[in-house]
Amino acid sequence: MNLTGKLLLSMPSLDDERFYKTVIYICAHSSEGTMGIIINKKIDYDLYPDLLEQLGIDKPLGNKKLYIRYGGPVETGRGFVLHSDEVIQKETLAIEKGVALTSTSEFFEDLSKGKGPANSILALGYAGWGPGQIEKELLANSWMTLAADSSFLFDDEVANKWNKAYSLLGIDPNKLSQFSGRA
């Protein structure tokens, strides 16, 4: 199983408040662990002026939108940019066609000048799992998976993204059971 480039949708029964009703884009998945960015937890731009100034993004970017998200509980003081892949640096992690991840100061500087990719999400922190941990959580019925497309990933509809993701699967999350069986 390779989850890279997929979405994880928290099950309604997931009792970890950090991941309640989250949609996570998986940036890397291997035998060494898993790393993803929560894409549906908005952060108010005005709450982080000092951090944004440190990242070189201390003012609005003209007509370019910059979405700031709570990326997850790991390294919350570090910025990551999940973005479309027309702009790549040597440090950029190409995830799948159309999507990449970069966290260099030069990339933040380009964003602050209104340069950079057409679509981007600035995430503070990330979600991470140790070796085999996400596989165990999937078996425990904590997550659903969904193939991602960039229009869903980068749209600015954040508040309803979890419900919309389940709709793409054709599932009403309110009718899901927290129990699963094995034959």
Q: Do the domain assignments include residue 17?
A: yes
Q: Do the domain assignments include residue 183?
A: no
**Structural domain tally of the chain?**
1
Torsional class of 117: left (φ above 0), alpha (ψ -120 to 50), beta (otherwise): beta
CA distances to 5, 26, 113, 145, 174 from 36, rounded to whole Å, are: 9, 4, 27, 13, 25
Q: Enter the DSSP assignment of 42.
A: B
Q: Do the domain assignments include residue 107?
A: yes
Tell me what the mean pLDDT of segment 30-36 comes to: 96
Q: Which pair of structure tokens corresponds to residue 144?
A: 């659903």
Domain limits for position 81: 6-175
Render pLDDT for 47-63 as a digit per residue (tens, 0 to 9).
455 555 665 555 555 55
- How many Å is the maximal CA-CA distance in the chain? 57
Render pLDDT for 125-154 as a digit per residue (tens, 0 to 9).
999 999 999 999 999 889 999 998 888 998
Q: Enter the DSSP assignment of 163.
A: H
Q: Do the domain assignments include residue 68?
A: yes
Q: Do the domain assignments include residue 42?
A: yes
The distance of Cα 178 from the centroid of its chain, to the nearest Å, equals 24
CATH code at 84? 3.40.1740.10
Under 8 Å between Cβ of 146 and 169 = yes
Q: Do the domain assignments include residue 182?
A: no
Q: Do the domain assignments include residue 180?
A: no
Rounded to two decimals, the pTM is 0.86
